[in-house]
Homo-oligomer: A and B are copies of this chain.
Amino acid sequence: VNVLRIHHVAFASGPADEPLGGHLDLLGLTCVHVEQGAGFVERMAPAGEGYLQLLEASGGRDVVSRFVERRGAALHHVAFEVDDIDGAIGELLAAGVRMIDAAPRPGGMGARIAFAHPSSFGGLLVELLEEGPSPTSSSS
């Protein structure tokens, strides 16, 4: 697996929480992208080459809401960008890693993503992410 960078670190909070206590701007960070997921809204705030991802759970029975119910607002996962997500998943499966997603699925911002089960990484929820074609590269 060839990890290019930490693409984002995700912090999950509940529907009644103000993400980061409303203090994201104090860190000089700004959300540049908002997207609706399955049971959550994700907001992306760039910091250097990576992002802080704010997951706002809907409060339903989806996986992010259950995490927040159990843990409170907390860091949720780390997404590593890879150059070849299909190859990376194959390598992890061959090594005996339990994948939540055994094949890539669509993620935010046009990326292809796959989660590994935290039991395979000592409790860390690892996301693999391969970026989609950028708007500029498709026009060149």
List chain A positions with a Cβ less than 8 A from chain B. 1-6, 9, 11, 13, 17-23, 26-29, 47-50, 52, 71-78, 80-81, 91-92, 95, 97, 119-124, 126
Contact residues in B for A71 (Cβ distance below 8 Å)? 71, 74
- Nearest chain B CB to A70 CB, angstrom units: 10
Copies in the complex: 2
Q: Tell me, in angstroms, the Cα distance from A74 to B72 when the chains sit together.
A: 13
Of the candidates B3, B120, B121, which one forms a contact with A28 in the assembled complex, judged by CB atoms under 8 Å apart? B3
Q: Tell me, in angstroms, the Cα distance from A18 to B2 when the chains sit together.
A: 22
CB of B23 within 8 A of CB of A120, answer: yes
Contact residues in B for A4 (Cβ distance below 8 Å)? 47-48
- Nearest chain B CB to A9 CB, angstrom units: 5
